Amino acid sequence: MVLLTRKIEFSASHLYHNPNLSAEENRRIFGKCNNPHGHGHNYTLEVTVAGEPDPVTGMVLDLKELKEILEREVMQRMDHRHLNYEVPELAGQIPTCENIARIIWKLLEPKIKQGRLHRVRLYESPDLFADCYRNGANGAGKG
């Protein structure tokens, strides 16, 4: 099996606010991420696909095709958008790294026809990221 990773970057705004909690609780739990007008990040997304190289093309899947899938499913939905208000898949969820990574997994998995989606890693900043795996197929150095 070979792993192939493609990276893209997008910029988006968000804020953390749970309407079921009081203003004080929101402030206590989410801190400055609760500021009412939101803030933004340059997100970096790494998408890893696992598979066997095709004997004719030598490719797990055509990177052009993966690039088009990422453009359609992620860039057009999220780039230069407000994640709370403009991305229906995140409606009713706090747009944390964890939740965005999971949504991106769900958007991408059915679109990848050659190989299979192995990992989605979403960086909110160089020091904070979330990974999404299929259960049992995770982790560096793990089966």
CB of 69 to another protein, least distance (A): 19
- Among residues 33, 41, 46, 98, which one is catalytic? 33
Name the residue nearer to another protein (CB basis): 53 or 82: 82
**DSSP characters over 49-111:** EEEPPPTTT--SS-HHHHHHHHIIIIIHHHTTEEHHHH-GGGTTS---HHHHHHHHHHHHGGG
Chain contacts with another protein (rule: CB under 8 A): 16, 18, 20-21, 29-31, 93-99, 101-102, 105, 121, 126-135, 138-142
- Please list the residues that pair with 122 across neighbouring strands: 45, 130
Q: Which is nearer to another protein, 66 or 103 (CB)?
A: 103
**Active-site annotation holds for 24:** no
- Closest approach, Cβ 68 to another protein, in A, equals 24
Q: Catalytic site residue 80? A: yes
Q: Are 7 and 44 in contact (CB under 8 A)?
A: yes
124 is catalytic: yes
Q: Smallest gap, in angstroms, from Cβ of residue 100 to another protein?
A: 9
Q: Which is nearer to another protein, 59 or 111 (CB)?
A: 111
Closest CA to 58 of 122, 142, 2, 7: 2
Query: Encoding tokens for residue 71?
Result: 């453009």
Q: Could you list the active site residues? A: 33, 80, 124
